[in-house]
A and B are shown apart, each in its own frame.
Chain A
């Protein structure tokens, strides 16, 4: 009996200690997950946000210049900074974690297609609350796309909206409100990374549903499947609706930017997978190196190679598309579908093979298993 009691005590100590996090650090044989988190935060995420934040500041400044003096020059300037910012956005869109997730950052920045009817109503009414979820499709980059390229078919008529139109002030005010909001949200996200969240993110290096690795991987896979594969290519190509939806392409009014945005997104997604620094000067611990480490035990297929090869295939297929996705869909949608297929193959590698190898659950299910 006494031996049993002692054993019970021993085991309860073990169980209790197991429920507390113990960051004793990895041995030289382990994969350093904390190093991976640090690489993600310090060399990829924060630099990406810093760059984007800079472009957002420029965009807002140019919007101010335009609304003060609407003419062709300021319009061109604003359009340029919009394009630069939109491309830069593709680098941060995949990091919907922490504060970004809390404020529904991506939904506020880039929901398309834009609801032009409601947007026009907002401008006509003059009163709107952009922080409501219902207002998602009347703000962000797609709304700017409409206001800068979609109001009319020629630049002269577009400028009229901001000069001679009876509610020119309404248009100017709305435009400025959008860029101000986008800049504000961006600053909020970057701020949280730079003052506290980065440490929280990196320290949370345990395993389990709420650990940073699990959450980041889940967000990444979700982004790849829903935002990149479906949002940019699949939905416009009609994969989910049976008939093509050219109105659902990114940068619909600008027309020429869709392909560039998609390629930038593919590049960013692959760079993150390989742990490449945002500034391009090297790489660190990443999903690729994690998979390679686990692979040394399995002698299985080289998964990280497969994923990278598939990224290459998707990129070259996307490259062959017209820079104007609207035209591409209307003339030869099968090319869009082929691009979709290439992106789709990586969904299987990422969502099935990679998650299994890393033993991470999709959208953590906290029910019991057996």
Chain B
């Protein structure tokens, strides 16, 4: 994560994504989380410092809590930058607050002899395994859809564009490759948690993890995701294997000479702490199991309406492009005009907005307020928009006859999205 923060800053993204834009999209219920202008750098520095604390196991609980809060705040500032692996890091870091990750081979264990133990409760490790398993398995479930399996979409769009990759570039122009990759990807996601769990298949499984993530990292612009998943897959290895690796590290420098605990099981600081930790972790994991299914509560095509799409490990699953033209009408004079989105949004924000209804609605509210300030008493906002999904022809998306300012924000189904014609 330290590397991730440094990379983020080095690419100039703090400035580009969180300071330059004049407008930010908020998550439902988190509108109070606002970007901090120049103080955003401070936020990132805090986040980065906390990752050092976590890595070294120094004042672990404080570090992980600080990391969780600062990282999640960064993510909550602008919905535009939502990524499944950022969400994963938020969830994982929240989980880790409740786990005694500093009980062994950490600076805390070095300076606090009482903390040093040989064993921690099994559920602490299993919780992380379960979370990772959920991510993979649900990602695999998400791939069991007709576009992915029977039309090899969106890989049929993404792979041919990678024509200059050595060895594989030509292969990607072939249709059978798209189908092979689609089916292999789905099979990998569904089976890998189990292959990692069973001792006999673990080594091969880890090999597959590395191959899969390196390959996707080369093919797609997914940043730190491959490395995060490769690193977290190591949790599946047996304690004995980890001890062997640590033993090698201990031989290295005196820095790593941390007295080994020969005995002892981790005991929570109090019974309340133990019950709370177990309770919070259980609720978190149950929530993770249920949240991806909330889309079933909404009618319509999930990929089209995106109701219940996020926070469900639908990773690199669809190719959606859109174009949204906003029309402002002054009912008093009948005057109407179209908006140039680039006046208010960055091109990144415009791209995300055009295909996601919650963004469209939020932007409509923003325009309403803006033009109220410009002197129009009761602006009406209409949208003419088109969306293309997985290579289909673009279709009208928002009902152009609905004045979006009359729609109240809610989690209910959006009737102002036009039906999907497959």
Contacts and interface: CB of A to CB of B under 8 A. Distances in A.
A368 B163 contact: no
B253 to A, nearest CB: 22
Given A239-B337, A242-B336, A298-B156, A23 B83 contact: no
B15 interface: no
Nearest to B210: A11
Interface in B320-338: 321-323, 325, 330, 335-338
B61 to A, nearest CB: 30
Contact of B221 (A4, A14, A230, A368): A368
Given A29-B174, A365-B347, A368-B83, A207 B161 contact: yes
Nearest to B336: A242
B28 interface: no
B15 to A, nearest CB: 12
B392 A370 contact: no
Interface string A337-370: 0000000100111011101111111110111111
A26 B170 CA distance: 7
Interface residues of A, number: 58
Interface stretch (B44-52, B281-289, B383-391): B383-391
A33 to B, nearest CB: 7
B157 interface: yes
B83 A369 contact: yes
B211 A352 contact: no
Given A294-B160, A300-B391, A303-B393, A356 B210 contact: no
A370 B84 contact: yes
Interface in B1-33: 11, 13, 16-17
Given A239-B337, A300-B392, A367 B387 contact: no
B123 interface: no
B323 A15 contact: no
B210 A29 contact: no
B394 interface: yes
A301 B386 CA distance: 16
A353 B392 CA distance: 8
B85 A240 contact: no
Contacts of A281: none
Contacts of A234: 338
B169 to A, nearest CB: 8
Given A240-B338, A242-B336, A370-B315, A362 B347 contact: yes
Interface in B144-196: 156-158, 160-167, 169-170, 173-175, 178
A242 B376 CA distance: 12
Contacts of A15: 214, 218
A367 B160 contact: no
A352 B394 contact: yes
Given A23-B164, A297-B156, A349 B222 contact: no
B249 interface: no
A352 B322 contact: yes
Given A356-B321, A370-B84, A370-B85, A18 B166 contact: yes
B175 A297 contact: yes
Contacts of A207: 161-164
B351 to A, nearest CB: 6
Nearest to A295: B391
B222 A370 contact: yes
Contact of B164 (A21, A242, A367): A21
A125 interface: no
B105 interface: no
Interface of A: 4, 7-8, 11, 14-15, 17-18, 21-24, 26-27, 29-31, 33, 205-207, 230, 234, 238-243, 294, 297-298, 300-301, 303, 306, 344, 347-349, 351-353, 355-363, 365-370
Given A367-B13, A367-B348, A370-B225, 8 more contacts: A15-B218, A297-B156, A298-B391, A351-B321, A356-B157, A368-B83, A368-B225, A370-B85
Interface of B: 11, 13, 16-17, 81, 83-86, 156-158, 160-167, 169-170, 173-175, 178, 203, 207, 210-211, 214, 218, 220-225, 315-316, 319, 321-323, 325, 330, 335-340, 347-348, 351, 386-388, 391-394
